[in-house]
Chain A
């Protein structure tokens, strides 16, 4: 449905080139929920923005339904009806001077859809704000955090999209409200066949709603596959470490050092300076330090970008 092929996005950062996204293959199938997991600065938000066409890739392509995304006005606008965005901060995503009605009607107005009031009412009730008329004249500051995020989701639904890209959709919401919003995403998938790419740092969230997980580190996807396989039996040392710091895990692997700098991507395996297995004196550590890893292809099954995993498989 939505596919990224060899996608790379670079920025100029303090005189150096930052490779925020550095070769990513990723696809979101029809009716599929994919979680893109990573720490801040790993490029997951840039990847999401590029998939939405808000950022132009330096190389590689984004394609929707098999045809590559065009960045010319008309085609891009048509694409925007298919792929919609939900941001982290629902207060900031709503114009404080617009009512709920205007916020949800914005998309239909831009695209000149007929029956505006009906579309808005339907989108609001789909997003769980019922009866919708009660919310029309409210302002964002009169709503609770959960309601605001529902308004943002309704605003996306009003265009009847096929794919939703949600950047940390519940990170700024209260814990007790979170579940309801996630349940809403699942329900939208079941009722409308909506696909979703959920960008998050929260593995619990991925476990809660995602069919597939892609773990991103420093601009690349290092491991991807079905949620159950990746989260229960992670192969890549980075995924293992991420899972190990969750409270219920027995043995913690706390990686030393800070999230790395996309202007200085290490040689060899990009994870090797922080890798716990390299630090523990792994026999092929030299390979990890010098040999580049290939970019993971788009597949349904599990895969990991790690010399150790490759070695284990070939043996």
Chain B
């Protein structure tokens, strides 16, 4: 319907105008868009072959040169190409794990906030239980039991990282549900589904977006950590590259590029997500906006 679309366009225009004033956020967003774009178009130029151990063309652990701008690894593969290809796995796992965690966290958070009786209490106890579990260890165990594939890594990260989102969403849901328009909506005849989807969800969505952005960053770090600890999807990612550099003693043999490049990539992308998430929080969270 045209009315809704005009309104959405206007709202987005306002949002963009205030996001643009957050310089760090804009830089973060630019880095992210570049990283995602590169990951998406990678198959047009290279294929999974660049990660094949036997197809390494260069010298073993050779420093950066014209042929291999970021040097090579222990099998003579180009670090640059591996980073490029590996970004696909790292970003994919980061996004999907954050998405999974967001969906679980939102559903349980809204449920806990909306149904205040015993349902809410049970959901909160489950959340608390997951919250106190050391999430890295749990993810490690889960991934080890389920076996290494992209899906299991995503599941392992997603299933262990949702409790903080659920906590946040529950608090916000409680705040929204205390507003009189919820009562008005009830009096209009709105049921649980109507109230949670039409009133609660739109009001927690901005916060959710900001927290999910931060969640992606932490998922990428968790993926790298898991890979470094030896649990990976058996595909080249930034985490597995770090693991490789450690296994082959890159640090002691002076192959700094082999450690530094994947490490820096993780730092830069995580930083970009964090900058973006903080900027979103500033723009979308009315309480923070007032304080500024």
Contact = CB atoms under 8 A, between A and B. Distances in A.
A110 B188 contact: yes
Interface in B175-223: 179-181, 183-191, 194, 198-199, 202-203
B189 A111 contact: yes
B7 interface: yes
Contacts, number: 64
A101 B3 contact: yes
Contacts of B203: 95, 97
B253 interface: no
B187 A77 contact: no
Interface in B8-22: 10
B190 A152 contact: no
A84 B181 contact: no
Interface string A8-44: 0000000000000000000000000000000000000
Interface of B: 3, 6-7, 10, 179-181, 183-191, 194, 198-199, 202-203
Contacts of A107: 188-189
B200 to A, nearest CB: 10
B189 A92 contact: no
A94 B184 CA distance: 8
A110 B190 contact: yes
A92 B7 contact: no
Contact of B6 (A93, A94, A137): A137
A81 B189 CA distance: 7
Given A93-B180, A95-B203, A85 B187 contact: yes
Contacts of A152: 184
B188 A80 contact: yes
A149 to B, nearest CB: 12
B183 A159 contact: no
A76 B191 CA distance: 11
Contacts of B190: 106, 110
A110 B44 CA distance: 49
22 contacts: A85-B183, A85-B187, A85-B188, A87-B184, A93-B180, A93-B184, A94-B181, A95-B179, A95-B181, A95-B199, A95-B202, A95-B203, A97-B202, A97-B203, A101-B3, A106-B190, A107-B188, A110-B188, A110-B194, A111-B189, A159-B188, A159-B189
A155 B7 CA distance: 19
Contacts of B191: 73, 77
A136 interface: yes
A89 B202 contact: no
Nearest to B180: A92
A84 B187 contact: yes
B202 A110 contact: no
Interface in A59-98: 73, 76-77, 80-81, 84-85, 87-89, 92-95, 97-98
Contacts of A101: 3
